[in-house]
Amino acid sequence: MGHEVRYRVRGGRQLHGTVFVQGAKNAVLPMIGASLMASRGRTVLRNVPIIEDVRRAVELARAVGAKAELHETERTLVIDASSLSSPVLPGEIASRFRGSFLFVPALLHRLGEAVIEGVGGCNLGSRNLDFHYNGFKRMGATVTEHVADNGDGIIHIKAGDLRGGTLYCDTPSHTGTENLIMAAALAHGTTLIKNAALEPEVLDNIAILQAMGAKISGGGTGFITVEGVDELTAVEHTVMPDRIDAGVFVMAAAITGGDLNLVGATLEHLGVAADKLEQMGVEFHQQGAVLQVRRERTLRPINVITDEYPGFATDLQSPIMALSCLAEGPSYIYERIFDGRFKLADELGKMGADIEVDGNRAKVNGPRALRGAEVEAHDLRCGSALVLAGLAAEGETTITSAYYLDRGHAHTAERLSQLGADIVREAD
């Protein structure tokens, strides 16, 4: 993991002002995978979030032989993938983020194989990859697994010539859809992907692939058709804003009773989360590309069921759990996407919250005054939820294991401080 990262938050300050929503983590990662499919030229990605997952993706791109330069001040990533040299996704990098698996289609097309020494991402219970493997197999790949000397499982996918076919996701997997689209983009013939994911990041990835020369139709319908082409070319693309980052700042305004202008946030991208937050007492006003948000009334309790887009995003489930601790009555949360995403409840309990967990359902008994404590970020969104709780708590909250937070949110302490929060990041 490298160094220990902590955030210290002293609560009780209302947030006011203007904040810039970062580029989307879940859009830029598949785009880095897509850029490795261009055998000539240099891809330029703009509005890249400066987060740990992007730093890991840059390391991984270099490990397979690409030249990758991350210009942090300019939030721009330049990738030259003209000479990929290794099909191995080394465990020490790949097992630190989920997006590493999005490199597989490029390796299959460019090098004929991919060797996966590990896939990371937040530990949220079972996170299977069978839709990906089954899709690759239907296109003609072979997938084998063996155990390395150190006991780790290694997956070896051999492509041969990938050919189009009829593929499906049992449920609309986000990265599953992206991987099958990328595998189909350079395959021979036509591919139909049924039950495809509808997330805005999937559509942004389709947009860059189309600009690169891919023939993709049906994005956003659940049925995606891809006609394979011989080559993809490097392009320049601006990454869409991160709707989860936007949602967290909406809740930062809500939990402190403040008002914020979110530059780059789109209400529509929040899906059902926007309606739930409105029901809790948050007021929205979309002014072009700026979303104004404020909360003046007391918070009302809420009933949340996570679902694929445009349903309530599972990545906003932890933040709304923190927010609902302050609501005037019991809130009910049903986590449908992941079977292990409630570790936050115990951490909030250390801060005075009263949350009953039963399997994938939680009841948050509000209102409870939160007090500062030492708490642990068990995963990325657990981390952002604990920052929110810290903003509302009396006294100081210390959030440990905060590398997870840095995986997905850029410049958290700086951006919140500019809005009036008392928060510092420490690393040793």
Ligand X SMILES: C=C(OP(=O)(O)O)C(=O)O
**370 or 405: CB nearest ligand UD1:** 405
Q: What's the residue count for the chain?
A: 428
Beta bridge partners of 77: 45, 70
Give the residue at shortest CB distance from ligand X: 121
Among 377, 380, 382, 423, binds ligand X (CB under 6 A): 380
Among 174, 294, 295, 378, binds ligand UD1 (CB under 6 A): 174
**98 or 132: CB nearest ligand X:** 98
Asked if residue 240 binds ligand UD1 (CB under 6 A), the reply is: no
Dist. CA 383–CA 375, nearest whole Å: 9
Dist. CA 14–CA 37, nearest whole Å: 46
Residue type, 186: L
- The answer to whether 315 is a known ligand-binding residue is yes
Q: Kindly state the smallest distance separating residue 341's Cβ from ligand X, in Å.
A: 8
Dist. CA 186–CA 35, nearest whole Å: 13
Asked if residue 9 binds ligand X (CB under 6 A), the reply is: no
- The answer to whether 26 is a known ligand-binding residue is yes
Asked if residue 245 binds ligand X (CB under 6 A), the reply is: no
Q: Per-residue x/- marks for ligand UD1, 142-171, CB under 6 A?
A: -----------------------------x
Dist. CA 148–CA 60, nearest whole Å: 20
Among 79, 116, 122, 370, binds ligand X (CB under 6 A): 122
Asked if residue 408 binds ligand X (CB under 6 A), the reply is: yes
Q: Kindly state the smallest distance separating residue 123's Cβ from ligand X, in Å.
A: 8
Among 75, 109, 276, 381, binds ligand X (CB under 6 A): 381
- The answer to whether 337 is a known ligand-binding residue is yes
Dist. CA 168–CA 57, nearest whole Å: 27
Q: Is 122 a catalytic residue?
A: yes
Asked if residue 129 binds ligand UD1 (CB under 6 A), the reply is: yes
**Binders in 33-92 for ligand X, by CB under 6 A:** none
Dist. CA 326–CA 315, nearest whole Å: 20
CA 178 to chain centre: 13
**Binders in 49-88 for ligand UD1, by CB under 6 A:** none
Dist. CA 309–CA 69, nearest whole Å: 32
Could you list the residues known to form a binding site for phosphoenolpyruvate, using ranges: 25-26
Return residues touching ligand UD1 (CB under 6 A).
Answer: 26, 29, 98-99, 126-132, 171, 173-176, 314-315, 337-338
Could you list the residues known to form a binding site, using ranges: 25-26, 98, 315, 337
